[in-house]
Amino acid sequence: MAPEAMTTEPRKDTEDLAPAVNRELAGLDALELTVRSRRNPIARLWSAAWPVLAAVGIALALWQLVVLSGWKESWVLPGPADVLPELWNSVTSGSFWGAVGLTMQRAVIGFAVSVLVGTVLGLAVSRFGVLRRAFGSLITGLQTMPSIAWFPLAILLFQLSESAILFVVVLGAAPSIANGLIAGVDYLPPILLRAGKVMGLRGLSQYRHLILPASLPAFVAGLKQGWAFAWRSLMAGELLVQIGTTSSVGRLLSDSRELSDTAAMISVMLVILVIGIVIDQLFGLADRTLRNRWGLNAAD
Amino acid sequence: MTPAPDSVAAAGTGSRHTGRGLRLDGVSKAFGSGATALLALDNVSLNVAPGEFVCLLGASGCGKSTLLNLVADLDRPSAGAIDVGGARVALMFQEPALFPWLTVTGNIELALRMRGVPRQERRQRAAQLLASVHLGGFERRRPHQLSGGMRQRVALARALALTVDDADASRGTVLLMDEPFGALDAMTRDLLHDEIERIWRERDLTVLFVTHNVREAVRLGDRVVLLSSRPGRVVEEFPVTLDRPRRIDSTEVATLSAAITDRLREEVSRHGA
Ligand SMILES: Nc1ncnc2c1ncn2[C@@H]1O[C@H](COP(=O)(O)OP(=O)(O)O)[C@@H](O)[C@H]1O
Ligand SMILES: [Mg+2]
């Protein structure tokens, strides 16, 4: 138990009792604490991995079945046996990684700008009632707007340039990020707000020590959704806005279509899918870690 | 609220009592308006002297939490005036209301920080406060990893952290506690009664302690104030002159508790009729 400081002062009525009671109290506390089981990390990894592997296996099998059924000719719809070697050829070539590099660079810049815009927008809207009335439903409305519908305007405004792509990516992702933050602020438990007030948190310190940390889980959920929108917008953008001879993932996709190289096309699609999933998983991991630390998960 | 008077007593020897205590003058609080309005408190007047320990006793739903919220300035009275004489107000809620993103010590340290305790002292003082609620060794846990009773003890330590005031010790502190030990087992509660009594004396706090447990009120209070239900009014006040330290299971406490309980029963049965 705790050291000297505040407990050593003699208390007539409990003096003799205290050590025993303290021990009992410690015992009670120990009993009340939840026992956490620690499983072997390999076992945990396996239990997470096998359903995914099984699902991939089933998907490949279904694909192969469709091909075997002879529904389409093999140059229109090649099977896994044609696509997977093509995929392997791609990922072992330098030009492929150049294309992925450019796409990821756009994704990172677009997402970063979206986070900045979304956060400022979310904070402003959650803070000021007028802004909320003015823009609250507009932001939600923007979320439902298919990003591809922005491209004609973007191309008029920015021609076929990086800015056009960035514009659409940010319009796609920022509303989700703003909405996540707004939801976090809105659903802040009133009791915590009152506890903060009693402590003297107000204005900036209230934001720093209470409102921002409390809305973190909703914010991360908004980031996750924002990423999904950013990635979709970016792929649409790379198909529609082709800049000079630069090579991007979207460019690989449209080039292989023009060459009627379906195997290459599907392998690029698989790459797009995998990148999207991996990053979504990273956000999911951040989200779960946060919730576990805060005890927000019912099943711990 | 009026600014704190220059407290001569605080600086000198003599009485260490600080602040002017707590004064409620004809305080009423209605929730809602029109036909559906609910009068939670009706014309409540109450004085708590500086350094006094007053227990507020009343049935569930009689407006005790409402009253504390008004004193803590979390809500405004519909009528009447509340004066804390410039004192700091610390409130311990009925539920722990800890910040889940902070560790146990982080919660306490934030309260200390808001009271102007310098960074290098916070860790150690938080440890002392946690030790005083018998939670030494749990500093690095997060609130959700503790049991309900332990969380409530952390909340007590946090409320006590808010009674610390290095910047302006002359202001005095009013500590409001809303059924703080309702969720604890009897053994823990007895220990915390001793602890809260000790800290009250040591820091010279003015305490308004809400409970629905008559014995607890008699164990702790200099005075027990009985509230009626719907609307909440002050029905009667019982001075408690028993010597301290008291034991909750002593015959003196039991005798006075029985008398107050009778009066409380009377008050509650008025509603049944
Ligand atoms: N924010 C509120 N809005 C409406 N009614 C409320 C509100 N807060 C409390 N009340 C009502 O006021 C009465 C007193 O509540 P409360 O102060 O919590 O009682 P106690 O703490 O004594 O159990 C109850 O009838 C409760 O329903
Ligand atoms: Mg209450």
User: Is the per-residue pLDDT at B130 higher than 90?
Assistant: yes
Residue contact B110–A200, C-beta within 8 A = no
pLDDT tens figures, A16-43: 445 666 676 777 777 767 555 567 888 8
Residue B120 included in any domain? yes
- pLDDT band with cut points at 50, 70 and 90 for residue B7: very low
Q: Are residues B254 and B184 in the same domain?
A: yes
Q: Give, in degrees to the nearest 5, the angle at Cα B269 between B265 and B273.
A: 170
Cβ–Cβ pairs < 8 A, chains A and B: 109
Say how many Å lie between the CA of residue B47 and the centre of ligand 1: 22
Q: Which domain holds residue B250?
A: 18-87+172-273
Nearest CA to ligand 1 atom 2: B31
Q: Which of B142, B170, B198 corresponds to the end of one domain?
A: B170
Q: Above 50 in pLDDT, residue A13?
A: no
Q: Is the pLDDT of residue A273 over 60?
A: yes
CB pair distance less than 8 Å for B114 and A3: no
Q: Which of B154, B170, B186 is the last residue of a domain?
A: B170
DSSP label of B232? B
Task: Indicate if B186 and B59 belong to the same structural domain.
Answer: yes
% chain B with pLDDT above 70: 90
Query: A147 with A171: CB under 8 angstroms?
Result: yes
Q: Are residues B235 and B125 in the same domain?
A: no
Question: Which of B89, B134, B185 faces A1 most closely, judged by CB atoms?
Answer: B134
Do B255 and B195 lie in a common domain? yes
Distance from CA of B142 to the nearest CA of A (A): 7
**pLDDT confidence band for B88 (50 / 70 / 90):** confident
Index of the ligand 1 atom closest to the CA of residue B66: 17
Q: Write down the pTM of the prediction.
A: 0.81
> Smallest Cβ distance to A6: which of B102, B131, B137?
B131
Shortest-distance ligand to the CA of residue B56? 1
With beta carbons under 8 A apart, name residues in chain B contacting A209.
Answer: 110
Mutate: best of A187, A192, A199, A292, partner B, most B CBs <10 A: A199
The whole-number average pLDDT for the span B196-223 is: 92
Please answer yes or no on whether A295 and B130 come within 8 Å at the CB atom: no
Instruction: Specify the 3-state DSSP secondary structure of B137.
Output: coil
Mean pLDDT of A138-152: 88
Whole-number average pLDDT of chain B:
86
Residue B49: pLDDT over 70: yes
Let me know whether B190 and B246 are in one domain: yes
Q: Is the pLDDT reported for residue B266 higher than 70?
A: yes
Percentage of chain A lying above the pLDDT 70 cut: 88
Lowest mean pLDDT segment, chosen from A29-33, A127-131, B88-92, B120-124: A29-33
B164 and B176 fall within a common domain: no
Of B144, B162, B188, the CB nearest to A25: B188
Tens digit of each residue's pLDDT (9 = 90 or more) over A150-160:
999 999 999 98
Give the pLDDT band (50/70/90) at residue A165. Answer: very high
Contacts of A11 in chain B (CB under 8 A): 194, 198, 245
Closest Cα in chain A to B158: A199
Contact A3 B131 (CB under 8 A): yes
Find the CB nearest B145 among A28, A33, A194: A33
- Nearest CA distance, B195 vs chain A (angstrom): 9
Residue B172: band (very low, low, confident or very high) from pLDDT cuts 50, 70, 90: confident
Residue of B nearest to A34 (CA): B145
- Specify if B7 maps to a domain: no
For chain A, list the domains and their CATH numbers: 79-294 (1.10.3720.10)
Name the more confident of A92 and B4.
A92
Calpha distance B163→A236 (Å, rounded):
59
What residues does ligand 1 touch, defined as CB less than 6 Å away? Answer: B 31, 38, 40, 58, 60-66
Stretch A190-209: mean pLDDT: 93
CA distance A221 to chain B (A): 16
- What pLDDT does A44 receive? 85
Q: In the predicted model, is pLDDT for residue A141 greater than 70?
A: yes
pLDDT surpassing 70 at residue B5? no
Residue with CA at minimum distance from ligand 1 atom 3: B31
Is the pLDDT confidence value at B189 over 70?
yes
Residues B155 and B263 in one domain: no
Q: Do A5 and B131 touch (CB under 8 A)?
A: yes
Residue nearest atom 21 in ligand 1 by C-alpha distance: B65
Is B78 found in the same domain as B24? yes
Residue A101 pLDDT > 60, yes or no? yes
Given B170, B201, B222, which residue is the final one in a domain?
Answer: B170
Whole-number pLDDT of residue B109: 96
Q: Could you tell me if residue B77 is inside a domain?
A: yes
Asked whether the predicted pLDDT for residue A54 surpasses 50, the reply is yes
For residues B104 and B161, membership in a common domain is answered with yes
What pLDDT score does B169 carry? Answer: 65
B145 to chain A: which residues are within 8 Å by CB? 33-34, 295
**pLDDT tens digit sequence for B236-259:** 899 999 998 899 999 998 999 999
Q: Quick check: B203 pLDDT over 70?
A: yes
Specify if B226 maps to a domain.
yes
The whole-number pLDDT of residue B165 equals 65
Predicted-complex ipTM score? 0.85
- Residues of chain A with C-beta less than 8 angstroms from the C-beta of B131: 1-3, 5-7
Q: Of B207, B224, B122, nearest to B156 (Cα)?
A: B207
Q: Say how many domains are in chain B.
A: 2
Q: Can you give the three-state secondary structure of chain A, one letter per residue?
A: CCCCCCCCCCCCCCCCCHHHHHHHHHHHHHHHCCCCCCCCHHHHHHHHHHHHHHHHHHHHHHHHHHHHCCCCCCCCCCCHHHHHHHHHHHHCCHHHHHHHHHHHHHHHHHHHHHHHHHHHHHHHHHHCHHHHHHHHHHHHHHHHCCHHHHHHHHHHHHCCCHHHHHHHHHHHHHHHHHHHHHHHHHCCCHHHHHHHHHHCCCHHHHHHHHHHHHCHHHHHHHHHHHHHHHHHHHHHHHHHCCCCCCCCHHHHHHHHHHCCCHHHHHHHHHHHHHHHHHHHHHHHHHHHHHHHHHCCCCCC
Same domain, B221 and B259: yes
Confidence check: pLDDT of A232 > 60? yes
In this model, does residue A211 exceed pLDDT 80?
yes
The whole-number pLDDT of residue B19 equals 65
Contact state of B93 with A191 under an 8 Å Cβ cutoff: yes
The token pair at B197 is: 């009594």
Furthest-apart CA atoms within chain B: distance in Å: 60
Confidence of residue A10 (pLDDT cuts 50, 70, 90): very low
Which chain B residues are Cβ-neighbours of A197 within 8 angstroms?
Answer: 72-74
Pick the residue from chain A with its C-alpha nearest to B159.
Answer: A199
> Does one domain contain both B240 and B261?
yes
User: Mutating which of A12, A29, A210, A296 best tests the B interface, going by the most B Cβ atoms within 10 A?
Assistant: A29
Is residue B83 over pLDDT 70? yes
Kindly report the CATH number assigned to the domain that includes residue B202: 3.40.50.300
Q: What is the reported pLDDT for A130? A: 84
